[in-house]
A and B are shown apart, each in its own frame.
Chain A
């Protein structure tokens, strides 16, 4: 457990403003933390989107750019006063350039407990092929 990865700000990070061009909604935008794994057949992406449900998240793959967006409504209560804050609530946005050809029809995205999991199946042509070497 004591494995320490490279030093990193653990606080929720706001997305730098220059990444997003046209934005109509106001409010803060956060950059979700992600894990990405790959095997022969798929790229799998996990993103932490606490507070987001299925209906709040949109995933798009346009050209080579995979975009994750989630719209989060701030929690409001008239009776309560926010007396201590360590995290902010706002939308999520992050995009990635995918260098492998992806089979768009078979992309799967699921939300569970605030974690988005996207499976991006590689196109047949992108999969590594074992080349048999015949003895001459």
Chain B
């Protein structure tokens, strides 16, 4: 399993509930290599103030996506519905995947779950998670005695 991003020693976004995800990805058909591939793919952007998670989810109804935050773990769960065939239609090619998906993402710090915003635009889900006030680094000024 490739491990990519790391902040400090404690954060590894891929330290997820991998077995659980594998079980779920099996449900997501169209992707034969379920154990190796995660759906949907996510990118994580970080700053001192917030974390932005983006995910490519084209053609998904936002109502079919469930986001939850527990502590510093973001869970992304949902369904991509299959394109149904109409009367008299046949498939020539089927490459687009569909089915249920489930992902957990370990965030680098605790976030203020009341201020989390999620937007879906052009098939991309963008979740902005502001850092919890209590978790922000404090600057301590050093005074001379």
Instruction: Check A2 against B27 for contact (C-beta < 8 Å).
Output: yes
Q: How far is the CA of A9 from the CA of B100 in the complex (A)?
A: 18
- Report the interface size class on chain A: 35 or more
Binds B, one of A19-27, A37-45, A102-110: A37-45
Q: How far is the CA of A10 from the CA of B40 in the complex (A)?
A: 10
Q: Does B59 contact A (CB under 8 A)?
A: yes
Q: How far is the CA of A10 from the CA of B133 in the complex (A)?
A: 39
Instruction: Check A53 against B96 for contact (C-beta < 8 Å).
Output: no
With contact pairs A6-B32, A50-B57, A114-B124 given, residues A86 and B5 touching in the complex (Cβ less than 8 Å): no
Which secondary structure characterizes the binding site on chain B? Answer: loop
Interface string of A75-89 (1 = CB under 8 A from B): 101011111111100
Instruction: Check A81 against B47 for contact (C-beta < 8 Å).
Output: yes
Instruction: Check B58 against A115 for contact (C-beta < 8 Å).
Output: yes
Nearest-neighbor residue (CB-CB) of B49 within chain A? A79
Nearest-neighbor residue (CB-CB) of B79 within chain A? A1
Instruction: Check B95 against A8 for contact (C-beta < 8 Å).
Output: yes
Q: Does A11 contact B (CB under 8 A)?
A: yes
Instruction: Check B45 against A9 for contact (C-beta < 8 Å).
Output: no
Instruction: Check A2 against B26 for contact (C-beta < 8 Å).
Output: yes
Q: Please give 14 more A-B residue pairs, beta carbons under 8 A apart, in addition to A8-B33, A113-B120.
A: A2-B27, A2-B29, A4-B29, A5-B29, A9-B37, A35-B83, A38-B92, A48-B123, A50-B56, A52-B123, A53-B122, A79-B47, A82-B43, A86-B38
